[in-house]
Structure 1
Amino acid sequence: MFEYFCARMQTLDPARLKEGNSLSRPLYFDGTNYAHLKVRMKFYIRAQNRLHWDLTQNGYTPPDMPAKDYTAEETRIELSNDHAMNHLFCSLSENELTRINACQMSKEVWEKLDVHYEDTIQATKTQLRILE
Structure 2
Amino acid sequence: PFFDGNNYSHWKAKMTIFIQSLDYNLWDLIVDGPNLPTVTLENRNVIPKPRNTYDDNDRRMVQIKAKAKHIIICAINLNDFNRISSCILAKEMWDRLEVTYEGTNQVKEAKISMLVHDYEMFTMNENEDIKSMFSRFTNIINELQALDKTYSNSEMLAHITRKFKKFLASKKKFRGKPNKKLYQKGESRKLEEIICFECNKPGHYKSDCPRLKKK
Quote the residue 2:14 is aligned against. 40
Distance 2:55 2:21 in 1: 26
Aligned length: 99
Superimposed CA distance per residue, residues 70-128 of structure 1 (whole angstroms, 9 cap, x where no aligned partner) = 121121111101001000000011111111010111000000000110029x59x6xx9
Q: List gaps (5 residues or longer) in structure 1.
A: 1-26
RMSD in angstroms over aligned alpha carbons?
2.1
Amino acid in structure 1 at the alignment position of 2:59? T
Distance 2:29 2:52 in 1: 21
Cα offset, 1:30, TM superposition:
1.3
If the length of structure 1 is used for normalisation, what is the TM-score? 0.68
Kept in 2, the 8 Å contact 1:30–1:93? The answer is yes
Distance 1:114 1:91 in 2: 14
Runs of 4+ with >3 A deviation: none
Quote the residue 2:2 is aligned against. 28
Amino acid in structure 2 at the alignment position of 1:41? M
> Which structure exhibits the higher relative contact order, with contacts defined as CA atoms closer than 8 Å and separated by 6 or more residues?
1
Structure number, greater radius of gyration: 2
If the length of structure 2 is used for normalisation, what is the TM-score? 0.43
**Percent of pairs with identical residues:** 33
Cα offset, 1:65, TM superposition:
1.5
Quote the residue 1:14 is aligned against. none
Amino acid in structure 1 at the alignment position of 2:64? S
Cα offset, 1:68, TM superposition:
2.4
Aligned match of 1:58 in 10, 23, 32?
A: 32
Distance 2:83 2:28 in 1: 22
Distance 1:67 1:47 in 2: 30
Distance 2:91 2:97 in 1: 10
Cα offset, 1:54, TM superposition:
0.7
Distance 1:88 1:99 in 2: 12
Higher helix share: 1
The aligned runs of 1:1-132 (5 Å cut-off) are: 27-63=1-37, 64-119=48-103, 122=107
